[in-house]
């Protein structure tokens, strides 16, 4: 664990101590595997694409830094004087890398069962929260599945934009064949398309309840 907490800036000031970089490498791989394993067994109704989205949402530098911060990991990291003075204990990159190193250390010391136990507790409600967001936000995927069942064709999105670059708004219309089923707007193309898909899904589910069921 001491090695897992040893940042290279500290090792440079105290020669002879190995940094946490090798454990970080191992922890990154272990984390991806354990999250995939937990997601596979916990969310048995999620398709492959959603499982991939779920893993990406929790196995990234931002999410790992938030998890590290939630358990106060920054206070335990061994940093060089310069890095510590520069606020290194709060830097997302250092927090996320150190958490991966800790995960690697748990795996080395305790094996697969121990690291799975630790990560299950650490991830806690985060996986459930991400799954809920995926279910609510991914209207485009839901619409594509609906149109495939009902019409055997994909939806087509028409985009227009208005306003200057710093205040641009995007407007989307979703077409199924020659019929317009939904419209939406947002600050990005993706937001506009999701809004249009949400409206189209609602209309399709209202007119074709059997397909939704």
Q: Which residues are catalytic?
A: 28, 100
Among candidate residues 14, 131, 133, 7, the one with its CA nearest the CA of residue 68 = 7
Give CA–CA dist 174/177, Å, rounded.
Answer: 10
Q: Decide if 58 contacts 123 (C-beta within 8 A).
A: yes
Using an 8 Å Cβ cutoff, are 92 and 84 in contact? no
Closest CA to 111 of 25, 23, 30: 30
Neighbours of 103 (CB within 10 A): 25
Q: How far is CA 58 from CA 20, 145, 182, in A?
A: 21, 26, 32
Residue 64: exposure state from Cβ atoms within 10 A (0-12, 13-18, ≥19) = buried
């Amino acid at each position: 664990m001491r090695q897992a907490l040893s940042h290279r800036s500290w090792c440079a000031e105290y020669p002879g101590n190995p940094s946490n970089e090798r454990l970080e490498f191992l922890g990154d791989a272990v984390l991806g595997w354990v999250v995939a394993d937990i997601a596979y067994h916990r969310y048995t109704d999620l398709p492959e694409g959603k499982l991939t989205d779920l893993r990406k949402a929790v196995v990234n530098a931002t999410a790992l830094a938030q998890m590290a911060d939630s358990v106060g990991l920054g206070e335990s990291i061994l940093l060089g004087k310069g890095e510590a003075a520069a606020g290194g204990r709060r830097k997302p990159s250092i927090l996320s890398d150190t958490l991966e190193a800790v995960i690697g250390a748990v795996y080395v010391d305790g094996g697969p069962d121990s690291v799975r136990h630790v990560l299950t507790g650490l991830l806690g409600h985060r996986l459930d929260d991400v799954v809920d967001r995926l279910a609510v936000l991914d209207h485009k995927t839901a619409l594509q599945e609906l149109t495939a069942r009902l019409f055997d064709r994909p939806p087509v999105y028409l985009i227009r934009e208005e306003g200057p670059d710093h205040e641009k708004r995007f407007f989307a219309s979703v077409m199924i064949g020659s019929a317009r089923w939904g419209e939406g707007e947002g600050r990005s193309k993706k937001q506009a398309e999701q809004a249009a898909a949400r409206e189209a899904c609602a209309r399709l589910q209202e007119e074709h309840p059997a397909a939704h069921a």
